[in-house]
């Protein structure tokens, strides 16, 4: 049986078996597919230059100290 992942823009597939995670880790920034997610959500990767984030209106989290991952609340 094939299990489908989530579409990066549309989220959970409308039919068939799909991945049901306990938590999510987004790289760089949260994707559209998790806009309705209510479980634990982490963002990892503090490698986007501030100027690039500003140019693309990215709302990136503040990473404490030297942390590479932050939990979204």
pTM of the model: 0.76
In Å, how far are 39, 40, 41, 45, 57 from 22, measured between CA atoms? 7, 7, 9, 20, 29
- pLDDT tens column, 53-65: 999 998 888 899 9
In the chain, which stretches have pLDDT less than 50? 1
69 Cβ neighbours under 8 A, 6+ residues apart: 25, 42, 43, 44
Domain boundaries, the chain: 24-72
Q: What was the pLDDT predicted at 4?
A: 67
CA 10, chain centre distance (Å) = 13
């Amino acid at each position: 049986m094939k299990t489908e992942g989530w579409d990066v823009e549309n989220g959970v597939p409308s039919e068939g078996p799909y991945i049901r995670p306990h938590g999510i880790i987004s790289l760089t920034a949260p994707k559209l597919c998790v806009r309705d997610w209510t479980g634990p959500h982490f963002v990892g990767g503090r490698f986007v230059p501030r100027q690039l984030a500003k140019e693309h209106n990215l709302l990136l989290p503040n990473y404490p100290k030297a942390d590479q991952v932050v939990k979204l609340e």
